Protein backbone atom coordinates (compact mmCIF):
# COMPACT_ATOMS: atom_id res chain seq x y z
CA UNK A 1 0.00 0.00 0.00
CA UNK A 2 1.30 3.39 -1.06
CA UNK A 3 1.46 5.76 1.90
CA UNK A 4 0.93 9.49 1.74
CA UNK A 5 2.70 11.92 3.92
CA UNK A 6 -0.19 13.87 5.33
CA UNK A 7 -0.03 16.80 7.66
CA UNK A 8 -2.16 14.95 10.19
CA UNK A 9 0.26 12.04 10.32
CA UNK A 10 3.30 14.28 10.62
CA UNK A 11 1.80 16.27 13.46
CA UNK A 12 0.64 13.21 15.36
CA UNK A 13 4.10 11.73 15.13
CA UNK A 14 5.75 14.97 16.24
CA UNK A 15 3.43 15.19 19.22
CA UNK A 16 4.34 11.70 20.38
CA UNK A 17 8.04 12.39 19.91
CA UNK A 18 7.80 15.63 21.84
CA UNK A 19 6.82 14.06 25.13
CA UNK A 20 7.88 11.29 27.44
CA UNK A 21 4.61 10.88 29.29
CA UNK A 22 3.49 8.01 27.04
CA UNK A 23 0.31 9.73 25.97
CA UNK A 24 -3.10 8.22 25.30
CA UNK A 25 -4.91 8.60 21.99
CA UNK A 26 -7.13 11.21 23.53
CA UNK A 27 -4.26 13.27 24.86
CA UNK A 28 -2.69 13.23 21.41
CA UNK A 29 -6.00 14.25 19.91
CA UNK A 30 -6.30 17.25 22.22
CA UNK A 31 -2.78 18.39 21.37
CA UNK A 32 -3.32 17.84 17.67
CA UNK A 33 -6.38 20.07 17.71
CA UNK A 34 -4.09 22.98 18.53
CA UNK A 35 -2.50 22.56 15.12
CA UNK A 36 -5.41 21.17 13.12
CA UNK A 37 -8.58 22.35 14.86
CA UNK A 38 -10.96 20.09 12.99
CA UNK A 39 -8.90 16.90 13.11
CA UNK A 40 -10.96 13.93 14.17
CA UNK A 41 -10.30 11.29 16.77
CA UNK A 42 -10.77 8.60 14.14
CA UNK A 43 -7.87 10.05 12.20
CA UNK A 44 -5.72 9.96 15.29
CA UNK A 45 -6.49 6.28 15.81
CA UNK A 46 -5.92 5.44 12.16
CA UNK A 47 -2.57 7.18 12.15
CA UNK A 48 -1.49 5.60 15.39
CA UNK A 49 -2.04 2.28 13.68
CA UNK A 50 -0.06 3.34 10.64
CA UNK A 51 2.82 4.66 12.72
CA UNK A 52 2.96 1.35 14.54
CA UNK A 53 3.04 -0.54 11.28
CA UNK A 54 5.90 1.63 10.14
CA UNK A 55 7.70 0.81 13.36
CA UNK A 56 7.90 4.45 14.38
CA UNK A 57 5.98 4.11 17.61
CA UNK A 58 5.09 1.42 20.10
CA UNK A 59 1.81 0.74 21.82
CA UNK A 60 1.83 0.14 25.55
CA UNK A 61 -1.36 -1.18 27.03
CA UNK A 62 -2.48 -1.72 30.55
CA UNK A 63 -5.71 -3.37 29.57
CA UNK A 64 -7.92 -0.34 29.82
CA UNK A 65 -6.38 2.04 27.41
CA UNK A 66 -3.43 2.24 25.09
CA UNK A 67 -0.53 4.59 25.43
CA UNK A 68 2.08 5.35 22.83
CA UNK A 69 5.82 5.69 22.84
CA UNK A 70 8.13 7.10 20.20
CA UNK A 71 11.08 5.31 21.78
CA UNK A 72 11.34 2.13 19.79
CA UNK A 73 14.67 0.87 21.02
CA UNK A 74 14.67 -1.94 23.53
CA UNK A 75 13.47 -0.74 26.88
CA UNK A 76 10.83 -1.60 29.43
CA UNK A 77 8.22 0.16 31.48
CA UNK A 78 7.43 0.89 35.06
CA UNK A 79 3.96 2.05 35.99
CA UNK A 80 3.34 3.85 39.24
CA UNK A 81 0.18 2.64 40.91
CA UNK A 82 -0.22 5.94 42.70
CA UNK A 83 0.17 8.58 40.00
CA UNK A 84 -0.28 6.35 36.93
CA UNK A 85 2.90 7.70 35.37
CA UNK A 86 4.84 5.41 33.13
CA UNK A 87 8.62 5.48 33.34
CA UNK A 88 11.02 4.14 30.77
CA UNK A 89 13.33 1.55 32.21
CA UNK A 90 16.58 1.21 30.36
CA UNK A 91 18.37 -2.05 29.94
CA UNK A 92 21.38 -0.77 31.79
CA UNK A 93 19.15 -0.24 34.80
CA UNK A 94 17.82 -3.73 34.63
CA UNK A 95 20.23 -6.47 33.81
CA UNK A 96 18.33 -9.33 32.40
CA UNK A 97 19.76 -12.59 31.37
CA UNK A 98 16.94 -14.68 30.20
CA UNK A 99 17.98 -18.16 29.28
CA UNK A 100 15.65 -18.91 26.47
CA UNK A 101 17.30 -22.11 25.36
CA UNK A 102 14.66 -24.26 27.00
CA UNK A 103 11.89 -22.44 25.22
CA UNK A 104 13.44 -22.53 21.78
CA UNK A 105 14.26 -26.19 22.32
CA UNK A 106 10.60 -26.83 22.96
CA UNK A 107 9.67 -25.18 19.71
CA UNK A 108 8.72 -21.68 20.77
CA UNK A 109 9.82 -18.91 18.42
CA UNK A 110 10.09 -15.77 20.45
CA UNK A 111 9.47 -12.51 18.65
CA UNK A 112 9.17 -10.20 21.56
CA UNK A 113 9.63 -10.03 25.28
CA UNK A 114 7.75 -7.44 27.28
CA UNK A 115 8.70 -6.64 30.79
CA UNK A 116 6.41 -4.38 32.72
CA UNK A 117 6.81 -3.45 36.31
CA UNK A 118 4.39 -1.95 38.72
CA UNK A 119 4.99 -0.24 41.99
CA UNK A 120 5.54 3.17 43.47
CA UNK A 121 7.72 5.72 41.76
CA UNK A 122 10.35 7.85 43.47
CA UNK A 123 8.21 10.99 43.48
CA UNK A 124 5.27 9.23 45.07
CA UNK A 125 7.36 7.46 47.70
CA UNK A 126 8.68 10.86 48.72
CA UNK A 127 5.16 12.19 48.93
CA UNK A 128 5.86 14.82 46.30
CA UNK A 129 2.96 13.84 44.11
CA UNK A 130 -0.54 14.45 45.36
CA UNK A 131 -2.76 12.84 42.79
CA UNK A 132 -3.04 11.04 39.52
CA UNK A 133 -1.00 12.53 36.70
CA UNK A 134 -1.71 12.88 32.99
Partner DNA sequence: GTATATGCAAACAATTTGCACGCCT
Partner DNA sequence: AGGCGTGCAAATTGTTTGCATATAC
Closer by beta carbon to DNA, 9 or else 79? 9
Q: What does the binding site for a second copy look like in residue numbers (CB under 8 A)?
A: 59, 61-63, 66, 78, 81, 87, 89, 92-100, 102-103, 106-123, 125-126
* Element (DSSP H or E) covering residue 46: helix 41-53
CA dihedral of residues 12, 18, 20, 23 (deg, nearest 10): -20
- Which residue among 19, 20, 24, 123 contacts DNA (CB under 7 A)? 24
Query: Which span (31-39, 87-95, 101-109, 119-127) binds DNA, by CB under 7 A?
Result: 31-39
Residue 81 interacts, among DNA, a second copy, none and using kind-specific CB cut-offs from 5 to 8 Å, with: a second copy
Interior/surface letters 80-105, b for 16+ CB within 10 angstroms, e for the rest: bebbebbbeeeeeeeeeeeeeeeeee
CB of 46: closest distance to DNA in angstroms? 5
Amino acid sequence: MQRRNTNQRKIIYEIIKSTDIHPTADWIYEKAKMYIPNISLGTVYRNLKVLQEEGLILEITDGRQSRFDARTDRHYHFKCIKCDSIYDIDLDMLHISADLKHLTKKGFKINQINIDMEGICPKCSKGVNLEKNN
